[in-house]
Structure 1
């Protein structure tokens, strides 16, 4: 996205390079699982770049075991990663997007785990319905390769080259993403 001329802010708990402002790329070391850090990240981005146009949240955690083998702590982490983090980020980004009448929200998650996938899809459908008519679209991308940086690049390229993304769900067939949907 930076190569296409867009300003990009990247927030992650473990950045492979130092945090800081690198022209059109703002790198913020932060754990957005913390509600306070979500606000801190958005404040930093808004100070440097203005209102967020495109929000891309990659959900990176899934419970790998069956129901009876899943501990409460794993369940709580799944709920917060799959629903809490995207919810807090969406809630923080929407006022600026809706106020301008344009915005794109994409939640990317692994397709493993029926509950996680359905919970994320339910959140996205609910928010998309609520924002209908505001100019803000909300989409979900489910991929077995959600942790693969190449898949993230594919989604970023889709956002850059498809300014008219509709409020419908993106799939491999419609988006040309290399991963499976």
Structure 2
């Protein structure tokens, strides 16, 4: 997606030119998986990156790993903040802390999320509320807290990491599907509200991706069906026409493209990163 971007060689490694220099990007769920990959990608683009999550030790480990990337550009800085994205006060405190550390937030990546599976009839109210709280309300709270700084600057990027489950239905994950459909609805509505404000709002929708969520899904399939791990992984991969799991770095590259200054005309979109599993009509 960045085929025409200029590159810079640093210590025998090649990175995209710092198109996000002097920008501050905050990534929720940033300690592992897709979030960590996005942090690494935005750091390479020159942004100061704040990783937000619930566990300080995991965040510190992720930040240390980013700082240790061989040949990583020296213009990037990495910070961490701890927060529960389902709690408004916790989010407000974390955003204030992040701003103190790295300046106003220009780029927000709403990546934090959870997935649980159960037949609809066995999905209790607690599980339903948890899926909406983490996947939808958390996106709402973080965006509402970060948006004023973007509006003041007249420039901003909000990218919501949704899912193909926000575009189509899947059995046995009704609460998760409902939450991710909500994220896409929020993305589209807010994009229209902000269309003249210099702030874009988009979603990327990964298919099954090589993350802890998929590893948990594999374990669940093995435990309930008696299939082998290889068979369970093959079942999930079969939903992708390319017959493979998406890699976190592929999602991160799509996110980074939407954050570029040159992507100013792209807003209100829900972009599948799923090997052709879902195609926009």
Normalising by the smaller structure, the TM-score range is: 0.7 to 0.9
Q: Paired residue for 1:164?
A: 263
Q: Paired residue for 1:56?
A: 109
Q: Which moved more, 1:7-16 or 1:74-83?
A: 7-16
Structure 2 unaligned residues grouped into runs of 5+: 1-41, 68-75, 166-175, 212-246
Structure 2 length-normalised TM: 0.56
Residue pair 1:62, 1:116 contacting (<8 A) in 2 also: no
Cα distance, 1:30 vs. partner? 2.8
Q: Paired residue for 1:28?
A: 81
Looking at structure 1, the residues matched to 128 and 203 of structure 2 have their Cα atoms a distance apart, in angstroms, of 21
Q: Paired residue for 2:145?
A: 92
Structure showing greater Rg: 2
Q: Which of 117, 120, 123 is equivalent to 1:67?
A: 120
Looking at structure 2, the residues matched to 161 and 55 of structure 1 have their Cα atoms a distance apart, in angstroms, of 13
Residue pair 1:4, 1:160 contacting (<8 A) in 2 also: no
Structure 1 unaligned residues grouped into runs of 5+: none
Runs of 4+ aligned structure 1 residues displaced above 6 Å come to: 19-23
Q: Which moved more, 1:142-151 or 1:122-131?
A: 142-151
Q: Paired residue for 2:58?
A: 16
Looking at structure 2, the residues matched to 156 and 114 of structure 1 have their Cα atoms a distance apart, in angstroms, of 21
Residue 41 in structure 1 maps to residue 94 in structure 2: yes
Looking at structure 2, the residues matched to 17 and 91 of structure 1 have their Cα atoms a distance apart, in angstroms, of 23
Does the residue aligned with 1:16 lie in a helix, a strand or coil? Answer: helix
Q: Paired residue for 1:155?
A: 254
Cα distance, 1:178 vs. partner? 6.6
Residue 117 in structure 1 maps to residue 186 in structure 2: no
Does the residue aligned with 2:262 lie in a helix, a strand or coil? Answer: coil
Residue 141 in structure 1 maps to residue 204 in structure 2: yes
Does the residue aligned with 2:60 lie in a helix, a strand or coil? Answer: coil
**Corresponding pairs, count:** 177
Does the residue aligned with 1:104 lie in a helix, a strand or coil? Answer: strand
Does the residue aligned with 1:85 lie in a helix, a strand or coil? Answer: helix
